[in-house]
Structure 1
């Protein structure tokens, strides 16, 4: 049995796996945000320790029954359990395996916890400009999980839409070449709930995408820029009687214009004609990203990976196997 720990800004998941099959998991609304607020990581330590005890007790497991404990995400930051320096891209599977940090934290387990490092695009020592710089902790494991699940053997882009969307570039040997981050999900939430457009958008997301409105939003941002394109939502609601689905889809199109610009322009991604794009996740941002890439770049195949709940864990196991930990 394998235990995996995935900690983000606001949530932590501790899961029990038999092979790649999740047997059980414990979720908690505790993340590195709590460390930042409290000034220490004691709540995070306690939360993870209790989750490990719960899983072991529920399934009658001893330490001898646990093959490994793997951890990825913000848990490897200075606000997590153990800080692991970012690796500088390009980063191969072998690089990840070699740079796993194994640490015993007695208050959690007598077994070592194996921490998977994150990635940064550039060496930040004596950095003169952040152009081309980006960082990630956790998404590298998710990207490698998709590379493993789809058996990717060519240059590819892996898109992980969300609050902080990530585009990750990998090569034919599944080495990570770099990444690019946007605030797509956060922008969608803020504009929907905290602007003059909140009334027009009914302070809620749509349950579905109107492809026509999505493309119109993208085209409006391309033609007029984001500011005026956004205000068109209010005009459409007041003078054209557009539906909520149309207005919310138009908004996503406006926001994702910047994501598509980042995808096509970020030097660290190397996005060119014919390179496939794998989109991990479910929800409107994922669906909208897929629709826009298909429409704008018909020569680039698009694949969607909808079952993403365990990507961090599967990616961590993929790396741990390379390191002969499991």
Structure 2
């Protein structure tokens, strides 16, 4: 029998077909909840989900009756998605996530139930300007966290770094409960700076193509010393006054922006890390290399682990399957 996992975010939706824990086929559409926000309805998102499900099945000859589960995670379970599932409140165990899964039939997509996995939010009451930094939410990273815990046999307490357009920093305790998360706009910030500021001309509107430790560290150090805004302008100085390459300056920018993430991590009242907190770095290779390098250079954390590429493949889908493979899995309509 087979399982289909759906991972839908702000701009992309992916369906993956699994058999016995192995990926058989995967298909993607560049449509996400951003389209729902723009259109005022979720018709395009539903159509994209229907298409990718049909494609992974038809291309492999799998029949509907051969599918055990269709599991959905990410922003597809938000108010801009297809079925809204309330966030669970930290601390959250894998059992809590399993028990929180909601089953719904969405006939416009497929004549089979879809199992929607809840997101998680920090346990903060009476949010105000005084404590808003403590509050955070996630949809999708919770299944990546579960998948990572199972893939690498991770034992907390630990901090998991999941860099991306919106980087997530997830804390787990000794019982591997998710105790909190913190989000930054690092990836989106780099994109804006790269395309929509005076720095765009210096970096030729391009992201890092190859990680350069020296320039990333220099950007990190200057940002920690003089702040992000000043550091960003010095990229233009490098462009006009030195023979630095586009890739080197892009690395300088990357190091500067990630410096602000390390400040956020170390000062987050929710994550509550200390020097002895184990740090596990995931994400795409360049961001993973950059974060790991800067963590070592910063010399605050004493235990740092960079996750290998093979352990990161199809992580959200793998984590989703881990949840329904639990003995305590049941149904909530």
* Offset at residue 19 of structure 1 (A): 2.4
1:72-221 aligned within 5 A: 72-123=73-124, 126-128=126-128, 129-221=131-223
Structure 2 matches for 1:1-326, cutoff 5 A?
Answer: 1-123=2-124, 126-128=126-128, 129-297=131-299, 299-307=302-310, 308-322=312-326, 323-324=328-329
Cα shift readout 1:72-93 (whole Å, capped 9, x = no counterpart): 0000001111000111111011
Q: Is the 8 A contact 1:281 1:305 kept in 2?
A: no
What is the CA-CA distance between 1:288 and the residue it aligns to? 0.7
Bigger Cα displacement from structure 2, 155-164 vs 305-314: 305-314
> 1:233-272 CA distances to partner (integer Å, 9 max, x unpaired)?
1112222322223211111111011100111111211221
Q: Give, in whole Å, the separation in 2 of the partners of 1:300 and 1:147.
A: 17
CA distance, structure 2, for counterparts of residue 104 and residue 225 of structure 1 = 51
Cα RMSD (Å) of the superposition? 1.7
SS at match of 2:17: strand
Q: CA deviation at 1:173?
A: 2.3
- State whether residues 205 and 248 of structure 1, in contact with CA within 8 Å, keep that contact through their aligned partners in structure 2: yes
Distance 1:14 1:41, change over 3 A: same
Structure 1 residues 128-174: Cα deviation after superposition (integer angstroms, max 9, x where no partner): 34120011100111111111101112211111111111111112322
CA distance in 2, matches of 1:305, 1:74: 26
The answer as to whether partners of 1:294 and 1:300 remain within 8 angstroms in 2 is no
Once residues 256 and 207 of structure 2 are traced to their aligned partners in structure 1, the CA distance between those partners, rounded to angstroms, is 15
Task: Provide the C-alpha distance between the structure 2 equivalents of 1:203 and 1:214, rounded to a whole number of angstroms.
Answer: 17
Structure 1, residues 192-226: CA drift from partner, whole Å, max 9, x if none? 12111122212212311221221111111111111
Provide the aligned length of Structure 1 versus Structure 2.
Answer: 325
Measure, in 1, the Cα distance between the counterparts of 2:211 and 2:56: 39
SS where residue 301 of structure 1 aligns? strand
Deviation larger for 133-142 or 230-239: 230-239
Q: Which moved more, 1:245-254 or 1:158-167?
A: 245-254
- Could you tell me which runs of 5 or more consecutive residues in structure 1 were left unpaired when the two chains were aligned: none
Whether the 8 Å CA contact 1:15–1:24 is kept in 2: the answer is yes
Task: Describe the SS at the equivalent of 1:232.
Answer: helix
Whether the aligned pair in 2 keeps the contact of 1:226 and 1:254 (CA below 8 Å) is yes
Instruction: Assess if the C-alpha contact under 8 Å between 2:105 and 2:112 holds in 1.
Output: yes
